[in-house]
């Protein structure tokens, strides 16, 4: 059975992009794979976190995994910092990572621009820690959105390099990216991806937004010139993005949706129906989240058990790595 590994940073409220680009796929993939899903808290430390709210943020991501349908009977769910091998392998991989290949990372360049004054070493090293996450579990496939492909490619490079230097140790992972939903764009600006760090909350729909807020945000979402509701990401990027969200939220084909609105007089009816599709799509997840809120002990036990299982695999890989490089 092939192994999949993926993770989300607890660095803010999760949005539809995270869900449609990543978590929704995990739920489907967990049935045919050995699945490992991590809350990558150490990654989130690369930007300042308030110690008073960080714990809640970390737990909220784990709750979303469960509410979305990740089943702890089928998948390992755990918190990155509970398995010390992640930081340990990161250090070893640092010694075979080259500075220019990290300088090339698009996300680093963007973040370096945003955090000019407090650019920390963790931001630079972020992709190496991500490679450690992936390689520790001998991962075959990494289900992620499009923005993480470059990081998974670095993990491949490091795995190949390590294997060349020290002998076959790591599985060479590949990114698993679905065509639809891999890059959900901002509602206020369809030229940029939907992002937690966008300056305006009009950019995204969070997984916990109320039906009223969802309706309001979709009503305000920018559209393209013209009235046709057609899927054309180049000429009509805003409508193409809304059609993608509609299709994934409702389970209907984009072609069907185009047909339904072929004679629409404008965008109003389309936006109304889209809002209801998103509200209904998120309803079960939001209901389960409420149940989990009153069940923190169960949540902590799942994370504890998950960490134990993850540790078994990670410590075995780490032992192999240490043997290969001659550590005593």
Point out which residues bind ligand TYM (CB under 6 A).
Answer: 5-9, 17-18, 21-22, 40, 43, 130, 133-134, 142, 144-145, 147-148, 151, 182-184, 193-194
Q: Minimum CB separation from ligand TYM for residue 213, in Å?
A: 18
Q: CA 217 to CA 198: how far, in whole Å? A: 14
Of 134 and 289, which CB lies nearer to ligand TYM in the complex structure? Answer: 134
Q: Minimum CB separation from ligand TYM for residue 11, in Å?
A: 7
Could you give the strand order of the β-sheet that contains 34-39, starting from the edge strand earlier in sequence? Answer: 75-79, 34-39, 3-8, 141-143, 174-176
Active site residues: 111, 193, 196
Q: Which two tokens stand for residue 277?
A: 């599709």
Of 57 and 193, which CB lies nearer to ligand TYM in the complex structure? Answer: 193
Q: Minimum CB separation from ligand TYM for residue 196, in Å?
A: 7
**Ramachandran bin of 210, using left for φ above 0, alpha for ψ from -120 to 50, beta for the remaining angles:** beta
Q: CA 83 to CA 73: how far, in whole Å? A: 20
Residue nearest to ligand TYM (CB): 21
Of 44 and 279, which CB lies nearer to ligand TYM in the complex structure? Answer: 44
Q: Minimum CB separation from ligand TYM for residue 155, in Å?
A: 8
Q: Minimum CB separation from ligand TYM for residue 54, in Å?
A: 15
Residue 5 is inside which H or E element, if any? strand 3-8
Of 189 and 276, which CB lies nearer to ligand TYM in the complex structure? Answer: 189
Q: CA 19 to CA 14: how far, in whole Å? A: 8
Of 40 and 242, which CB lies nearer to ligand TYM in the complex structure? Answer: 40
Instruction: Please spell the DSSP secondary structure of 191-224, one letter per residue.
Output: TSB--TT-SSGGG--BTT--HHHHHHHHHHS---
How many angstroms separate the first and last alpha carbons of the chain? 32
> How many degrees, rounded to 5, is the angle at CA 113 between CA 5 and CA 120?
65
Q: CA 48 to CA 28: how far, in whole Å? A: 34
């Amino acid at each position: 059975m092939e192994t999949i590994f993926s993770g989300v940073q607890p660095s803010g409220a999760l949005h539809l992009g995270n869900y449609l680009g990543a978590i929704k796929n995990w739920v489907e993939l967990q049935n045919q794979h050995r699945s490992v899903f991590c809350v990558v808290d150490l990654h989130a430390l690369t930007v300042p976190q308030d110690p008073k709210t960080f714990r809640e943020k970390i737990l909220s991501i784990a709750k979303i995994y469960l509410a979305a349908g990740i089943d702890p009977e089928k998948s390992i769910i755990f918190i990155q910092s509970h398995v010390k091998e992640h930081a340990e392998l990161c250090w070893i991989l640092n010694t075979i990572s080259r500075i220019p290949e990290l300088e090339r990372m698009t996300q680093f360049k963007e973040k370096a621009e945003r955090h000019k004054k407090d650019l920390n070493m963790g931001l630079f090293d972020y992709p190496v820690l991500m490679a450690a996450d992936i390689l520790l579990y001998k991962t075959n496939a990494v289900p992620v959105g499009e923005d993480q492909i470059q990081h998974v490619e670095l993990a491949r490079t490091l795995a190949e390099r390590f294997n060349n230097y020290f002998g076959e140790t790591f599985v060479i992972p590949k990114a698993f990216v679905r065509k639809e939903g891999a890059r959900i764009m901002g509602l206020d600006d369809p030229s940029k991806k939907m992002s937690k760090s966008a300056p305006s909350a009009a950019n995204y729909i969070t997984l916990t937004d109320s039906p009223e807020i969802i309706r309001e945000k979709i009503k305000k979402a920018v559209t393209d010139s013209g009235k046709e509701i057609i899927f054309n990401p180049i000429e009509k990027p805003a409508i193409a993005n809304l059609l993608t969200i509609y299709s994934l939220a409702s389970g209907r084909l984009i072609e069907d949706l185009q047909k339904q609105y072929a004679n629409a007089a404008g965008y109003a009816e389309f936006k109304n129906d889209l809002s209801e599709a998103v509200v209904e799509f998120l309803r079960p997840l939001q209901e389960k989240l409420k149940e989990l809120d009153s069940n923190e002990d169960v949540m902590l036990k799942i994370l504890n058990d998950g960490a134990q299982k993850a540790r078994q695999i990670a410590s075995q890989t780490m032992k192999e790595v240490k043997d290969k490089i001659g550590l005593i």
